[in-house]
Amino acid sequence: MSESHESISKFLSLVLRHSPETIGLQLHEGGWASIDALIRLATAHGRPLSRQLVEQVVRESEKQRFALSDDGLSIRANQGHSVKVELGLVKVVPPDELFHGTATRFLDSIRSNGLWRGSRHHVHLSETRDTASDVGKRHGKPVVLSVRAGAMHEFGYSFFRSENGVWLTESVPFEFLAFPSDV
């Protein structure tokens, strides 16, 4: 993704996941927003967008953070919201093991409290160590934690899988985490 597309993706994350009010955007049921309204409001706030550019960023994003509606008129973030949004996710049985990427500076807190969603709706988990490591790099020196998701599910914890393959749960208690031996 080009630098300008990355900048647009970050802007879309801001207005579709965290602060739609920044440009006066209204999120509808399921977190959907009108692409026409997004373009009009973003442009009025000094961030010129076009339908072609929005569609290109959605299509070319390797992380697939956004989805277009079947009719092509609306857009939403697939997960990661800090604003109240009901995405209509369905509970699914997770694999036995999932992974969480974080930075080493957060390990003391995680060892004490487990993983918590904070201001977001869910804790984000990955199917592979590599993906989790990439996530951890965004926050500092990366570390990958193993999550005993199958055991959590057996204890009644709910899991969801977003459209772009990110696994979601409300929290991961410490006893379901495995830390690398070198941290």
Q: What is the CATH number of the domain that holds 32?
A: 1.10.10.970
From 18-22, 33-37, 78-82, the region with the lowest mean pLDDT: 78-82
User: 85: pLDDT confidence band, cut at 50, 70 and 90?
Assistant: low
Same-domain status, 73 and 102: no
Decide: 64 and 163 in contact? Cβ < 8 Å. Answer: yes
Helix, strand, coil proportions of the chain in percent (round to 5)? 40, 20, 40
Reported pTM: 0.62
Same-domain status, 57 and 18: yes
pLDDT in tens, 116-153: 877 667 888 999 999 889 888 887 889 999 999 999 99
Decide: 149 and 95 in contact? Cβ < 8 Å. Answer: yes
Q: Mean pLDDT over all residues of the chain?
A: 86
Same-domain status, 102 and 173: yes
Report the distance separating Cα 22 and Cα 15, nearest Å: 7
pLDDT of residue 31: 80
Same-domain status, 136 and 105: yes
Same-domain status, 118 and 51: no
Q: Which domain holds residue 61?
A: 3-77
Same-domain status, 102 and 170: yes
pLDDT of residue 80: 66
Same-domain status, 13 and 72: yes
* pLDDT above 60 (res 48): yes
